[in-house]
Amino acid sequence: MGPRILVLNGPNLNMLGVRQPEVYGDNSYADVVDVCRNAASARGAEAEVRQTNDEAELLGWIHDVARQRNFAAIVINPAAWTHTSVALADALVIPEVPIIEVHISNVHAREPFRHHSYVSPIASGVIAGFGLAGYRYAVDRAIDLS
C-alpha cells in the first residue's frame, strides 16, 4: 500500500447538497469521501476523510499527525476557518508534511473576505473552483509530494 493521506474538512461541509447548492453543487459529503478514497485507491494509496464543525477537534487531528507520523500528507478544506484561523495555520506547520488546500468554489471570485487565506502561505498548493474534482486533484498531488 502506498502513502496514507489525511483529508480534513471544516465547518458546514457536512451540509453539502443542502447548503447553497448554487455555490457548492448538489453533491453530498458522502460524495466527497468517495472521490477522495477512489482517487487514493487508483494510485495505490489510502485516504482517510474526516469532517468537523469543532475547530478544537480539527486541531487535535493535526496534532495527532505530528505525534503519530501516520500520514504522509494532509489535504484540507478549512472552509470558513480558511479566512479566520491563525490557530489552524499554526497547527498545520507542526506535522511537517505536505499540505494541500482545497476549496469547492472559487473563493477568489466570491465575497472579498474569502480572498484571504491563513492556510495558503504554508500550503504546498491550493486548488479552488473545480467542485469535487478539486479533491481528486488535491489527493493526487498530495500523493506526488509524499
- Kindly list the structural domains of the chain, giving each domain's residue range(s) and its CATH number in brackets, ordered by start: 4-108+126-145 (3.40.50.9100)
- Please provide the DSSP assignment of 63-105 as one string: HHHHHH---SEEEEE-GGGGGT-HHHHHHHTSS-S-EEEEESS
Q: How many CB atoms lie within 10 A of CB 22?
A: 7
Residues known to be catalytic: 24, 103
Which carries the bigger pLDDT value, residue 105 or residue 99? Answer: 99
Query: Which residues does the annotation place in the binding site for substrate?
Result: 77, 83, 90, 104-105, 114
User: Which has more pLDDT, 112 or 15?
Assistant: 15
What pLDDT, on a 0 to 100 scale, did the predictor assign at position 112?
76
Q: Is the pLDDT of residue 114 over 80?
A: no
